[in-house]
Each structure stands twice: as structure tokens, then as C-alpha cells.
Amino acid sequence: MRPAPFEYHDPRHVSEAVDLLSSLENARPLAGGQSLMPMMNFRYGQFDHLVDLNRIDDLSFIDVDGSSIRIGAMTRQVEMQEDTRLAESVPVALEALSHVGHIATRNRGTIGGSLSHLDPAAELLAVSALLDGVVHLQGKEGKRSVPIEDYVVGYMTPAAEEGELLTSVDWNPWQGDHGWSFREFARRHGDFALAGAAVLMALDEAGSIARAAVTVFGVGPAPVRLKTAETSMVGEIPTRQLFELAGEEAASLEAMQDAVVSGSYRRHLARVLTVRALEEASVRAKDEKK
């Protein structure tokens, strides 16, 4: 099918794009187009105006200063994959990016597009939750920042006001030695994940867990941090039994069901993947201490 008729706009500055999105009726920003174009071709989404962000240079950047990372909304996923600073600061993100579609989609896909589309199985959304991400928005009324946990207000629904544009996202990388893991299950590589888990773990000198972050995604409308598991694991020696308890928390999450899988199967996957991710992160954390 072909998309419904629309008018194309080609701004060169963020302020110009915001003006267009605020003043035009039924307008939608165009980033990489890897999700938007199929939606329009199948007429799942019909928009009167497309505001192309691809020539706004100020939206494409990666700033790494050690204690924080800021990534521009129009930064391509392949650019992130090839950035050695990200590989060193947030290796879990590089692991996650290897699961994002295929090289052709990563060449065009952007982090801002992913965080605006908000597919529940989106890997970069899961990583942003794991790293206590903060999204930056700009509209006619000015700029504001929204933590990821408050940014997802429903199924594929961001907490963006009409006319607001996502301009960048901040990640808070862990300092010091730590382990990581990113696990997901899809019917085939490149498909949307049915469920997944991402983990960060640091050990103290005695080998006990000093800090842990666990995110489960693809199960409900938004990624979920397993706060109870994160707290209860601190001070404990990493063991399979301990990780199984975290897996039970993952299995207790409310899960979506669709034509592909049931909610109970998603919860089963969440439990298994959480345990495996914790095991892998603990092994890497031990290796980092050597």
C-alpha cells in the first residue's frame, strides 16, 4: 500500500522544527523512519504533515564525560555501535544494539526515534531504563527533562506534550568495575523480542553484591526495574538461588498477550532471561575484579 497524502517539511534548526510541530495540525516528526514509514504505508498511521529532522545537525552527537552521557536524538544506532567511548563506558548498550533489527535498519534508525516510538520490546528503551535515563524535550513553552520511568505513560505513549520534540537523552553510566548482561528472546534474530532482561552488577572486595540494576522489557507496555530484587541482593553472595528469587519477581509482572504468545509465556521468558542475565553479569563482575 501507499501512505495517505501528506505535506513534507524540511527544517534545518530545532526551533524551526518545534514551530512546525506546534503550528501544524496532525504533524509527525520523521527521524530514521524505520517504524514510521511501515506504519504509514499500511495506513496504520495517517498524518497531514511530516517534519523531517534529518538535516538538523544539532540533534546528532554523542557526549561522554565519564560521569554522564548525552546522546542527540538523531544519532544513528550504527554510530552508537561504532563509538569506542560508549563501548568502554556502557558495554551493555553495545550488547543491546547488536539485537536491534539488522545493519540496514541500524544505519537509519535513531535513538530518538526509538524513544519516541516506544515499542515495548525496544532495546534502547530498556537500556535507558537500566541506566536511569532522562529524556530532554523542547516545545514552544521551552525545555524540560523527564526521567524514563515517568516518560512512558502507556502502550507506545510518551509523556510528550503536543508539539514537543525529543532532542536528547542522558544516561548515567556506572563507575568502576562491574558486570553486565543483555538477554532477549525473539523468534529469529532481528525480530521484536518477546521478552528480555538487562543487568548491571558490581561486587565488593569480599565478593558480595555491592550494587545491582535489573530491567525486564517486552513483557508489559514499558520496561520495569525489579526494585525489590535490586535491594535484596545487596550484601549477598551471588548464587543461582538468589537469582531465582529475582526471576520470580520478573515472573510476577503483568504481561501482555497477543496473536504470537500468551502472557504466561512472556512471564516464563522474563523469569528465565532474568536469571541468565544475572548469572552472566555476576561472572563478568568477578572477571573485572581479577
Is residue 167 within 8 Å of 138, Cβ to Cβ? yes
Rounded Cα–Cα distance for residues 177 and 200 (Å):
10
Is 231 among the domain residues?
yes
pTM > 0.85: yes or no:
yes
User: Which three cell numbers mark 39?
Assistant: 506504519
Q: Average pLDDT of the chain? A: 96
* Per-residue pLDDT tens over the stretch 1-21: 788 899 999 999 999 999 999
Q: Specify the number of domains making up the chain.
A: 3
Is 2 among the domain residues?
no
Is 1 among the domain residues?
no
Q: Are residues 37 and 71 in the same domain?
A: no
- For the segment 160-178, the average pLDDT, to the nearest whole number, is 96
Q: Are residues 87 and 153 in the same domain?
A: yes
Q: Residue 264: which CATH number?
A: 3.30.390.50
Buried b (16+ CB within 10 A) or exposed e, 206-242: eeebbbbbbbbbbbbbbbbbbeebbebbeeeebeeeb
* Per-residue pLDDT tens over the stretch 24-34: 999 999 999 98
Q: In the Cβ-directed half-sphere of 140, how many Cα atoms lie within 13 Å?
A: 9
Q: Are residues 131 and 162 in the same domain?
A: yes
**C-alpha 65: how far from chain center:** 21
Range name among 97-106, 232-241, 274-283 with the lowest pLDDT average: 97-106
Query: Which residues share a beta bridge with 110?
Result: 76
Q: Are residues 36 and 135 in the same domain?
A: no
pLDDT exceeds 80 at position 232: yes
* Per-residue pLDDT tens over the stretch 46-103: 999 999 999 999 999 999 997 899 999 999 999 999 999 999 999 999 999 999 999 9
Q: Residue 12: which CATH number?
A: 3.30.43.10
pLDDT exceeds 90 at position 190: no
Instruction: Quote the domain boundaries for residue 106.
Output: 57-171
For residue 90, the model assigns a pLDDT of: 97
For residue 289, the model assigns a pLDDT of: 75
